[in-house]
C-alpha cells in the first residue's frame, strides 16, 4: 500500500503518526488531570462545606448551652440574646448542610439533627415558661434532666455529621491519591508506549526510506566495480524507486554499450592476433618490463619456445640474445624505432632443413594514449633470401673483378712495353694515346680493387684485427701520405691534439677510412682551404671527424653520398676516384659497430664524422 506513496508523503506520514501519538499522550494526561480535579472538587465542594457547617453547628450549640446556663443563673435578657443569636447561627449552618447533602445517610442525620434540635428548643421553651414560677433548684434540675440529654443528643448527631463528612473526605482523598498515582503510572506507561511506538515508527520509516537507498548504493558499487549484470531490486515506487528504475535503464544502456565495445575489442583482438599469427616472420611482443606478451608461431619455432609457457617471463630469461635485448632497451629509452643492420642479422640454424636463416632485427615501440611506451614489438625480418642474393652478388662481383684483372694485366703490360719503347720508338701522338689508355687501365684496376674490397666486406669475409690503438697514431698514419700533396695544393692539413685518447678498432681499416676521407677532401679544396682531423670522447664512443673548408655538398646529395658510384653534382665526368670509397668507408665503420655521417653546407665545407668504441 505504501508503495504508491512518494518519499515526501512517507516522511509526512511518519511525522503525522508521531504527532498523533503526542496528541494521544497529551489527551490522556489532560484526562488524568481532570479526574484528579474532580476528586479534589469532591473533597472541597461536597465535604468541606458540610464539615464547616457541622463545626459551625457545634459551636452555635455550645454557645446556646452556655446561654442556657447563664439563663438558669438569672441573666435572662443577656442569655436570651445569646441564645437567639446562636439559634440563628445554628439554623444557618444547618440549612447550609442541608443544601450540601452529598453523602449517603447525610440527609437522615440532618433530619435527625433537625428533629432533636426542635426537641431541644421545646425543652428550652419549657424552661423559659417555668422561669417566672419555679425555683432556681427546679430550673437547674430541669436543665440537667430535660435539656442536657437533648443537647447531648443534638451534639451527638452533629458530631455524627462531622464524622460522616470527615470519613468521606478521607475516602475521597484516598481516592484522589489512588487516582493520581494511577494517572502517573498510566501516563508513564502510555508515554513509554508512545516513545517505543515512535521509535519503531522512526526505524520503520527510515528503513522504508533507507533500505532502497542502501540497496541502490550497493548495486551502484557493484556496477561501478564492473558487474553490469546487476539489476537494482527496488520495489517502492517513490522517488528512490524512480531513481533505481532510471539507474537500471542506464546500466542496461552501459551494458549494451560495453557489450558492443567488448565485441568490438574481441574482434579487434582476434584481428590483430590473426595478423600476428599469420606473419611469416618471427614476432615477439614485450611490455615495458621486458616481459613477453605475445609471440607468433614462427617465433616459437625459431626460439624453440611455447608461447603459453613463456608469456610473462622476462625476455632475457627465454631468449638469450643480447643484441635483440639491447635494441629493445634502446627502443624503450628513446621511444624510437630501432633496426639492426644486415651485418648484425640474427642467425638461426634450422637443423631439419640443414640451412641457416638470417633475420634483420626491427624493434618498434608502441605508445599508449599518454605517449608512454607500453609495448615493444620485435620483428625479425627474414633476410635469408637477401643474404643469399647478396652473397651471390658479392661472389659475382668478386668473380667478375678477378676476370677483369687478367685482361687488364695484359693490356697494362702491353701498353707499358710500348711506352717503354721496348718494341721500338714511338712518336709523340702515339705516346699521348698510349698514356690515355694506360691511365684508364689504372683507373679500371683501381675500380676492380675497390669492388673486390667492397664485396669482401659485404659478404662478411673481412677480418677485423681489433686492438686498442691511440687515435693520434691513426691520425699520424693517415696524414703522412698527404703532407706533400697538401703542401703542393696550398691546403692546410692539420690534426687536433688528442692526448692519449684510444679506440678499440682495426688500425689499418680505420687509417684507410681516414685516408679516403682526406683524399676526398683534397679533391674538393683549393689553395687557402684547410682540412682538420679531430677526435672527441662522447659517452662510450669516440667521434672522429675530418672537416674541410672546401666546396661543400649540396643537400640533395648528402644522404646518398655513401651509396655506391655516387658522385656529387658535375663531378660525374671528372677523373676522380671510383665512387666506392665512401661506400667502403661506411661498410668498414659499420663493421666496427659505428656510424658515419656528413654535415655540409655548399661554399662552407663538409665535415665527415664517424664513431668508434672506447677500449673495453
Partner 1 sequence: MDKILLVEDNKNIAKVLKMCLTKADYEVKRVANGTEAVDEAYNWKPALILLDIKIPKMNGFLVCETLKDDDATANIPIIMLSAKAEEEDIQRAYDLGATDYLIKPIEPQNLLKKIKEQL
- Distance, in Å, from the CA atom of 302 to the CA atom of 294, rounded to the nearest integer, reads 14
Which residues of the chain form contacts with partner 1 (CB under 8 A)? 402, 405-414, 416-417, 420, 422-423, 441, 445, 449
Closest distance to partner 1 from the beta carbon of 421 (Å)? 10
Three cell numbers, residue 302:
625459431
Closest distance to partner 1 from the beta carbon of 423 (Å)? 7
Three cell numbers, residue 111:
433530619
Using the minimum distance from each CB to partner 1, give the nearer residue, 89 or 405: 405
Place of cell 659478404: 459
Contact 127, 142 (CB under 8 A): yes
Closest distance to partner 1 from the beta carbon of 575 (Å)? 19
Using the minimum distance from each CB to partner 1, give the nearer residue, 438 or 607: 438
Using the minimum distance from each CB to partner 1, give the nearer residue, 22 or 417: 417
Using the minimum distance from each CB to partner 1, give the nearer residue, 133 or 410: 410
Closest distance to partner 1 from the beta carbon of 404 (Å)? 9
φ, ψ of residue 566 to 5 degrees: the values are -100, 125
Using the minimum distance from each CB to partner 1, give the nearer residue, 37 or 416: 416
Closest distance to partner 1 from the beta carbon of 420 (Å)? 6
φ, ψ of residue 359 to 5 degrees: the values are -125, 130
Closest distance to partner 1 from the beta carbon of 419 (Å)? 9
| C-alpha pair distances (Å), 107 with each of 53, 88, 168 | 14, 20, 14
Three cell numbers, residue 317:
630469461
Using the minimum distance from each CB to partner 1, give the nearer residue, 387 or 438: 438
- Distance, in Å, from the CA atom of 330 to the CA atom of 335, rounded to the nearest integer, reads 8
Q: Supply angle C-alpha 11, 16, 17, rounded to 5.
A: 100
Using the minimum distance from each CB to partner 1, give the nearer residue, 137 or 422: 422
Closest distance to partner 1 from the beta carbon of 481 (Å)? 18
Using the minimum distance from each CB to partner 1, give the nearer residue, 43 or 415: 415
Place of cell 515506487: 237
Q: State the Rg of the chain over Cα.
A: 68
Closest distance to partner 1 from the beta carbon of 414 (Å)? 5
Using the minimum distance from each CB to partner 1, give the nearer residue, 381 or 453: 453
Closest distance to partner 1 from the beta carbon of 402 (Å)? 6
Reported as type and span, the H/E element at residue 254 is helix 239-278
- Distance, in Å, from the CA atom of 18 to the CA atom of 20, rounded to the nearest integer, reads 5
Contact 572, 562 (CB under 8 A): no
DSSP string of 539-605, one letter each residue:
TTEEEEEEEE-SS---HHHHTTTTSTT---GGGGGS----S-HHHHHHHHHHHTT--EEEEEETTTE
CB atoms within 10 A of CB 6: 15
Tell me 615's DSSP state.
P
Closest distance to partner 1 from the beta carbon of 578 (Å)? 16
Using the minimum distance from each CB to partner 1, give the nearer residue, 418 or 596: 418
* Best CA proximity match to 72, nearest among 16, 140, 125: 140
532 Cβ contact partners less than 8 Å away, ≥ 6 residues apart: 494, 495, 496, 545, 546, 547, 548
Closest distance to partner 1 from the beta carbon of 451 (Å)? 13
**b/e burial code for range 160-175 (CB count within 10 A of at least 16 → b):** bbbebbeebbeebeee
Alpha helix segments (H runs only) across 420-505 = 428-458, 471-479, 483-489
Closest distance to partner 1 from the beta carbon of 365 (Å)? 44
Using the minimum distance from each CB to partner 1, give the nearer residue, 75 or 445: 445
* Best CA proximity match to 156, nearest among 20, 84, 63, 61: 61
Using the minimum distance from each CB to partner 1, give the nearer residue, 407 or 569: 407
Using the minimum distance from each CB to partner 1, give the nearer residue, 101 or 408: 408
Contact 401, 455 (CB under 8 A): yes
Contact 254, 272 (CB under 8 A): no
Closest distance to partner 1 from the beta carbon of 465 (Å)? 10
Reported as type and span, the H/E element at residue 517 is helix 507-523
Q: SS3 of 285, please?
A: strand
Using the minimum distance from each CB to partner 1, give the nearer residue, 350 or 403: 403
- Distance, in Å, from the CA atom of 286 to the CA atom of 294, rounded to the nearest integer, reads 7
Closest distance to partner 1 from the beta carbon of 406 (Å)? 5
Using the minimum distance from each CB to partner 1, give the nearer residue, 102 or 412: 412
- Distance, in Å, from the CA atom of 228 to the CA atom of 17, rounded to the nearest integer, reads 40
Using the minimum distance from each CB to partner 1, give the nearer residue, 11 or 419: 419
* Best CA proximity match to 100, nearest among 51, 144, 62: 51
Closest distance to partner 1 from the beta carbon of 425 (Å)? 14
- Distance, in Å, from the CA atom of 147 to the CA atom of 126, rounded to the nearest integer, reads 9
Closest distance to partner 1 from the beta carbon of 518 (Å)? 22
Amino acid at each position: 500500500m505504501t508503495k504508491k506513496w512518494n518519499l515526501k508523503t512517507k516522511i509526512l506520514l511518519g511525522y503525522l503518526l508521531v504527532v498523533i501519538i503526542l496528541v494521544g499522550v497529551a489527551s490522556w494526561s489532560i484526562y488524568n488531570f481532570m479526574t484528579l480535579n474532580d476528586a479534589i472538587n469532591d473533597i472541597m465542594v461536597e465535604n468541606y462545606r458540610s464539615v464547616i457547617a457541622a463545626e459551625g453547628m457545634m459551636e452555635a450549640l455550645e454557645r446556646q448551652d452556655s446561654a442556657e446556663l447563664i439563663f438558669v443563673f438569672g441573666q435572662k435578657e443577656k442569655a436570651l440574646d445569646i441564645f437567639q443569636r446562636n439559634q440563628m447561627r445554628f439554623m444557618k449552618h444547618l440549612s447550609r448542610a442541608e443544601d450540601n447533602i452529598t453523602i449517603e445517610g447525610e440527609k437522615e442525620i440532618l433530619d435527625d439533627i433537625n428533629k432533636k434540635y426542635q426537641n431541644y428548643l421545646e425543652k428550652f421553651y419549657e424552661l423559659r415558661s417555668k422561669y417566672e414560677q419555679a425555683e432556681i433548684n427546679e430550673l437547674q434540675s430541669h436543665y440537667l434532666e430535660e435539656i442536657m440529654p437533648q443537647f447531648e443528643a443534638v451534639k451527638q448527631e452533629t458530631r455524627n455529621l462531622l464524622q460522616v463528612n470527615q470519613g468521606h473526605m478521607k475516602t475521597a482523598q484516598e481516592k484522589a491519591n489512588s487516582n493520581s498515582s494511577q494517572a502517573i503510572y498510566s501516563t508513564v506507561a502510555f508515554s513509554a508506549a508512545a516513545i517505543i511506538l515512535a521509535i519503531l515508527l522512526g526505524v520503520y520509516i527510515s528503513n522504508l526510506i533507507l533500505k532502497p537507498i542502501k540497496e541502490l548504493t550497493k548495486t551502484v558499487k557493484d556496477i561501478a566495480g564492473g558487474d553490469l549484470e546487476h539489476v537494482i531490486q527496488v520495489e517502492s515506487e517513490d522517488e528512490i524507486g524512480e531513481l533505481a528504475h532510471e539507474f537500471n535503464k542506464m546500466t542496461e544502456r552501459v551494458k549494451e554499450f560495453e557489450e558492443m565495445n567488448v565485441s568490438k575489442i574481441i574482434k579487434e583482438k582476434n584481428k590483430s592476433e590473426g595478423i600476428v599469427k599469420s606473419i611469416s616472420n618471427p614476432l615477439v611482443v614485450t611490455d615495458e618490463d621486458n616481459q613477453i606478451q605475445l609471440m607468433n608461431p614462427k617465433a616459437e619455432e625459431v626460439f624453440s619456445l611455447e608461447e603459453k609457457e613463456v608469456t610473462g617471463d622476462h625476455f632475457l630469461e627465454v631468449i638469450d640474445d643480447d643484441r635483440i635485448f639491447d635494441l629493445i632497451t634502446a627502443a624503450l629509452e628513446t621511444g624510437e624505432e630501432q633496426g639492426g643492420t644486415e651485418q648484425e642479422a640474427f642467425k638461426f640454424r634450422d637443423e631439419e632443413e640443414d640451412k641457416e636463416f638470417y633475420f634483420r632485427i626491427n624493434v618498434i615501440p608502441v605508445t599508449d594514449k599518454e605517449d608512454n611506451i607500453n609495448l615493444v614489438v620485435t620483428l625479425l625480418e627474414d633476410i635469408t633470401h637477401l643474404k643469399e642474393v647478396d652473397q651471390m652478388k658479392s661472389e659475382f662481383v668478386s668473380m667478375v673483378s678477378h676476370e677483369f684483372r687478367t685482361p687488364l694485366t695484359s693490356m697494362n703490360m702491353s701498353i707499358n712495353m710500348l711506352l717503354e719503347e721496348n718494341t721500338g720508338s714511338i712518336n709523340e701522338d702515339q705516346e699521348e694515346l698510349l698514356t690515355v689508355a694506360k691511365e684508364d687501365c689504372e683507373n679500371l684496376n683501381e675500380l676492380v680493387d675497390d669492388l673486390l674490397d667492397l664485396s669482401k666486406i659485404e659478404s662478411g669475409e673481412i677480418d677485423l684485427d681489433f686492438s686498442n690503438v691511440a687515435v693520434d697514431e691513426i691520425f699520424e698514419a693517415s696524414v703522412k701520405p698527404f703532407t706533400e700533396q697538401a703542401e703542393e695544393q696550398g691546403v692546410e692539413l692539420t690534426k687536433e691534439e688528442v692526448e692519449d685518447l684510444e679506440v678499440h678498432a682495426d688500425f689499418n681499416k680505420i687509417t684507410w677510412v681516414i685516408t679516403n676521407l682526406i683524399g676526398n677532401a683534397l679533391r674538393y679544396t683549393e689553395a687557402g682551404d684547410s682540412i682538420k682531423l679531430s677526435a672527441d670522447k662522447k659517452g662510450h664512443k669516440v667521434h672522429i671527424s675530418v672537416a674541410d673548408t672546401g666546396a661543400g655538398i649540396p643537400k640533395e646529395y648528402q644522404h646518398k653520398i655513401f651509396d655506391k658510384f655516387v658522385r656529387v653534382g658535375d663531378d660525374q665526368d671528372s677523373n676522380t676516384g671510383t665512387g666506392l670509397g665512401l661506400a667502403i668507408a661506411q661498410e668498414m665503420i659499420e663493421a666496427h659497430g659505428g656510424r658515419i655521417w656528413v654535415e655540409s653546407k655548399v661554399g662552407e665545407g663538409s665535415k665527415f664524422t664517424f664513431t668508434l668504441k672506447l677500449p673495453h
